[in-house]
Amino acid sequence: MAVPALATAARKHGVTIHRDWSAPGLETKGGWASAFDTEKGSIRAQQSVLLAGT
């Protein structure tokens, strides 16, 4: 119950959540992630959280 509630609250604050995407490529800028290369194209972001699971 907690995870869907956190996702809903995050979306209300402008967060975009991408599920079931692989991100084999990662670009960095100044030692921080600046973009992810996915099978659906590149995603650039000023801030990001990358979570992985099975």
Q: Are 25 and 37 in contact (CB under 8 A)?
A: yes
pLDDT confidence of 49, banded at 50, 70, 90? confident
Q: How confident is the model at residue 1 (pLDDT cuts 50, 70, 90)?
A: confident
In terms of Cα–Cα distance, which of 49, 54, 52 is closest to 13?
49
DSSP calls for 10-50: HHHTT-----S----EEEEETTEEEEEEETTEEEE-SS---
Alpha-carbon distance 37 to 47, whole Å? Answer: 15
Residue 54 predicted with pLDDT over 80? no
